[in-house]
């Protein structure tokens, strides 16, 4: 038995290019992990400060012309408190984190991340941790602003 909370963070008008997807796992560093295409699986704990370039476009029903993806990013078994940042590889990592985590705690966050020209994104964590990434949607162009 558990309690469940659901927060709505927003919505996209029909005029956007947003395309929702059934979640597809694109990265799972755990030894028992699995991905939708068998790539980027069971690589082990991501060392603190290491940058992983992860191809997204063309995997998990994300088309090659996608420019932004909506992801569920999860860290599990982190070895100390820290943060993870996901960003387009063509740029330096932003100062803001995508996900903050505590030692030993599994936690997830929903994020919209721009892809680089080659359809990849980069991930860096400040502490050793396993990382799991599921894609749940994509855009061809930048979402509208209000």
Contact 123, 82 (CB under 8 A): no
| Interval 59-83: pLDDT, tens | 999 999 999 999 999 999 999 999 9
By percentage, how much of the chain surpasses pLDDT 90? Answer: 83
- Both structure tokens of 21: 């997807």
The C-alpha atoms of residue 98 and residue 139 are separated, in whole angstroms, by 19
Per-residue pLDDT reduced to its tens digit, 2-56: 887 777 666 667 778 899 999 999 999 999 999 999 999 999 999 999 999 999 9
The pLDDT score that the predictor gives to residue 5 is 73
Helix then strand then coil, in percent of the chain rounded to 5, is: 0, 40, 60
pLDDT over 70 at 144, yes or no: no
Contacts of 90 (CB under 8 A, 6+ apart): 116, 117
pLDDT score of 142: 55
């Amino acid at each position: 038995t558990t309690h469940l909370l659901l927060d709505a963070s927003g919505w996209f008008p029909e005029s956007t290019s947003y395309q929702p997807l059934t979640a597809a796992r694109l990265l799972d560093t755990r030894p028992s992990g699995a991905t939708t295409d068998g790539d980027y699986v069971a690589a082990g704990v991501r060392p603190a400060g290491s940058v992983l370039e992860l191809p997204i476009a063309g995997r998990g029903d994300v088309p090659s012309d996608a420019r932004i993806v909506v992801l569920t990013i999860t860290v599990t078994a982190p070895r100390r408190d820290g943060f993870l940042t996901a960003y387009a590889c063509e740029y330096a990592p932003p100062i803001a984190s995508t996900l903050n985590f505590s030692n030993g705690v599994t936690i997830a966050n929903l994020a919209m991340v721009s892809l680089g020209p080659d359809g990849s994104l980069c991930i860096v964590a400040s502490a050793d941790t396993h990382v799991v990434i599921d894609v749940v949607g994509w855009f061809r162009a930048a979402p509208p602003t209000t």
